[in-house]
């Protein structure tokens, strides 16, 4: 599975930002609609859907959301990555240089 990445941002003027939870929910809804349109049976699609469900239900979501908002307040650009590592989902926060 290719990593899933989110880049939370603050709203600035006409540019609307989104928090980590909102971005993850939006991505989840996209994959749910694809399943409902009979795109099931696609292993990559199923893994990404499962990764998003796992992330939204994980206690890591609130920790990463708080941490990413802290970095945003410092003017940094956080990026959250969801990976599949040995049949387990792994969540990482990285900062853009």
d(C-alpha 18, C-alpha 26), whole Å: 10
Asked whether 45 and 31 are in contact (CB, 8 A), the reply is yes
- Per the DSSP assignment, residues forming a β-bridge with 79 are 94
d(C-alpha 34, C-alpha 32), whole Å: 5
d(C-alpha 93, C-alpha 35), whole Å: 28
Annotated domain spans of the chain:
4-95
Question: pLDDT of 15-56, one tens digit each?
Answer: 567 888 999 999 999 988 887 786 667 788 888 888 999 999
pLDDT at residue 5 in the model = 93
Tell which wins on pLDDT, 97 or 37: 37
Asked whether 90 and 82 are in contact (CB, 8 A), the reply is yes
């Amino acid at each position: 599975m290719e990593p899933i990445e989110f880049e939370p941002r603050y709203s600035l003027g006409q540019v609307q930002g989104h928090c980590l939870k909102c971005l993850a929910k939006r991505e989840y809804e996209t994959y749910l609609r694809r399943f409902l349109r009979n795109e099931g049976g696609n292993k990559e699609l199923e893994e990404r859907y499962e990764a998003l469900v796992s992330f939204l239900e994980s206690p890591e979501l609130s920790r990463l959301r708080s941490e990413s908002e802290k970095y945003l307040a410092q003017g940094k650009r956080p990026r959250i990555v969801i990976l599949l590592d040995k049949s387990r989902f792994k969540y990482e926060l990285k900062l853009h240089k």
